[in-house]
Amino acid sequence: MRNTNAYALLCLLSLQPMNGYIMKQWVDNLLRHFWKTSYGQIYPTMEQFLSEGLVTVESRESDSAPASKYYHITEKGLKELKEWLSEDSLDFNYRDESLMKFYFSSLLPLDTVIEKAERAAEFQYGILEKYTNDKKILDVENPTRQQLMVTICNQKGIFLNEARLKWAQYCAKTLKEFKENEERKKEKENEKE
């Protein structure tokens, strides 16, 4: 069984032949809300696919750069990809480093955690803005099936980032309220003394 990243790369090649740089750009620019990859994953996977006959490679010359390897999916690769695509993926197995850090952030000064939540809200707002701008570009009358799939995936990015933004704002607000309550408690204790 292959890792999901391998299938993600086959998915990209099902759209058009690509070199490693173009694959990375597609992931970074169009799939960013649900997928990441690195050159360290792309090139070894392409070599494995070549040895298994799932892709072929073509060297393309360029006036401005050295020759580049463009990978093409084969019928065998397309068959394996379609089998993988037809399998259900119902388990949302997600690792969230920021949530892990937040969960244990009681070890940090409260002001630091509030600042982190505020920065997270600013970051999520920026990401949400990108998806909203992409939506304006993607919304076309009478889309092709692939255009519709891209639009639907972009909408999930909007929904996810709206939720992340709302959560980050909630964190900052709730932590500020907690801090104010703690300060009031200390003031009352000091008054008693």
Write out the chain's pLDDT in tens, 193 residues.
Answer: 578 889 989 999 999 999 999 999 988 887 777 788 889 999 999 999 999 999 999 998 877 778 899 999 999 999 999 998 888 776 666 667 788 788 889 889 999 999 999 999 999 999 899 889 888 888 888 999 988 988 898 898 899 899 999 999 999 999 999 999 999 999 988 888 7
CA distances from 34 to 5, 27, 112 (A): 12, 9, 28
d(CA 80, CA 1): 11
56's CB contacts (< 8 A; 6+ apart) are 50, 71, 72, 74
Kindly give, in sequence order, each residue whose CB lies less than 8 Å from that of residue 179, ignoring residues fewer than 6 positions away. 110, 111, 114
Global model pTM greater than 0.85: no
Say if strands 68-73 and 55-60 run parallel, antiparallel, or are unpaired: antiparallel
